[in-house]
Structures are given as structure tokens and as C-alpha cells.
Amino acid sequence: MNFLELRTAVLGYINRPASEFDTFVGNEINAVLLQMQRLHEFKLSERLVKIVYPAATLQLDITGACEGLPRNYLNTQLLTNATDNEGQLIKICSYNALQSERFQYQRANGYSDYSELSPTHSDYVSMVQKVRMFLTGKAIGLYPVPITSINLLLNLSIWLPDLIDDTDTNFLTDFASDLIIDKAVDRLNYFMKEDARSEVAVKYTQEGWEALMQWDSQVRLASDA
């Protein structure tokens, strides 16, 4: 079902006019989708994304390249050429973990990265692993900061973007539209203080959620191998 069909169905169940409640219902549908994703990382949220990381760039926001806000980075490959489909796997860590490792390296070697002695920690990473990818907020970064542009292949999961246009869909609206409607109606009945049948609604939504988890467990991706 698309966004319009979902809103129409929910409005029918709560028996409210679209002229007054359409925007409210749309917001609740998106809230339900977000709640479902907080509870579970769905396999169909996984993406493969090729990007070009620009030279002399500390960090890069890749939200626009991967159809949504990045949620979890599964692996990253360093590509020799933009046309390559596989390359060298590189280590992923947080920026804080990277700096902690850098500090330990400096202390073990008795000098800072700013001394004239060599190799520095960035030299060491360049020699042993070529490059590291670190995460900070919504952005990714490469260490050492590259002096030329670098091609990357990212395997990650995303947060689905909100439904906005009437024709918008995603895999949850395709395969779990009944559960989205049930949960949205239950939320709206609670807010409108018409939750007398809440126990029945909880039963249906729980059954729907269990069925959705079973469906997701049967989805097979390359990362399952």
C-alpha cells in the first residue's frame, strides 16, 4: 500500500474526516514506521552504496547517497577503480576509538605525531591497512585524511525516510501494511481517548509483529552466508 492508501484506511477505521485528520494520521503512520525500525533492524534495509570520498576531506555525510540515514555499517571496501565491485576490506571504528588507539601508539613509541621521528600513527595505518574508516554522528571519515579522492563500496543498513508523497512506499508498507494500520489506529484511539478496545488491539498488533519477525528471519541476503 502507498502512503495515501494507508492514510485512507486508517481514517476509515477511526471514522474521522480527511479534511481534519489527514496530516495527523500521516504523522502517526510515520511514527509507527520509526517505532518498528527502533525495535528491529530489518534485512531489507541493507544497501550497497558506491561513493567517491573527496581528497582533503575530514568527514562526509553520505545520507543522500544511500536512500536514508545510515544506521549500521556492516563492512566497507576500498576500491582501486570506480568501476570495481570488490576491493580491500577496511576497518571501521568510532572516531573516539581511533584517537584512543593513536594515543596508545604515541605513548608506546615515546613521541607525538608532530615530532620529526617516523613513522607516526597515520604513517603506520597507511603502511599496514592503507586507510581506516571512522564514524562520527551521521558522517563517515577516512584516516589518514586522503590526499587524493578514494572510491569506497559501503555495505550498510539505513533508517527508512518518512513517507511524504501520496505514492511513497517502502518494504514495510509493501509487506506489513496491515500491522502499520493496526498500530496507527491503536495509537490514534489512545490519543483520542477512545481506547476501550485497547486489549484487543494489543493482541492483534502483537500477533502481527511476531508474523513480521518470522517473515524477516526468512529473508536471505548475501550477508547471511
Q: Which residue in this structure is represented by grid cell 502507498?
A: 2
Instruction: Kindly give the confidence (pLDDT) of every residue in the chain, 225 residues in length, as a single tens digit, with 9 standing for 90 and above.
Output: 999 999 999 999 999 999 999 999 999 999 999 999 999 999 999 999 999 999 999 999 999 898 899 999 999 999 999 999 999 999 999 999 999 999 998 888 876 656 665 678 898 899 888 999 999 888 999 999 999 999 999 999 999 999 999 999 999 999 999 999 999 998 888 777 666 666 666 777 888 899 999 999 988 654 555
Residue 169 in domain: no
Residue 181 in domain: yes
Q: Are residues 153 and 183 in the same domain?
A: no
Q: Are residues 121 and 72 in the same domain?
A: yes
Q: Are residues 137 and 210 in the same domain?
A: no
C-alpha span between 138 and 156 (Å, rounded): 13
**pLDDT at residue 86, rounded to an integer:** 95
**pLDDT at residue 34, rounded to an integer:** 97
Residue 164 in domain: no
Residue 151 in domain: yes
Q: Are residues 154 and 48 in the same domain?
A: yes
Residue 50 in domain: yes
**pLDDT at residue 223, rounded to an integer:** 52
**152: domain range?**
44-158
pTM: 0.85
Residue 109 in domain: yes
Q: Are residues 71 and 28 in the same domain?
A: no
Q: Are residues 64 and 90 in the same domain?
A: yes
DSSP labels for 89-131?
Answer: EE-EEEHHHHHHHHHHHHHHHTS-TTSS-S--HHHHHHHHTS-
Residues 6+ apart with CB under 8 A from 12: none
Count of the separate structural domains present in the chain: 2
**CA trace torsion 154, 159, 161, 162 (10° rounding):** 180
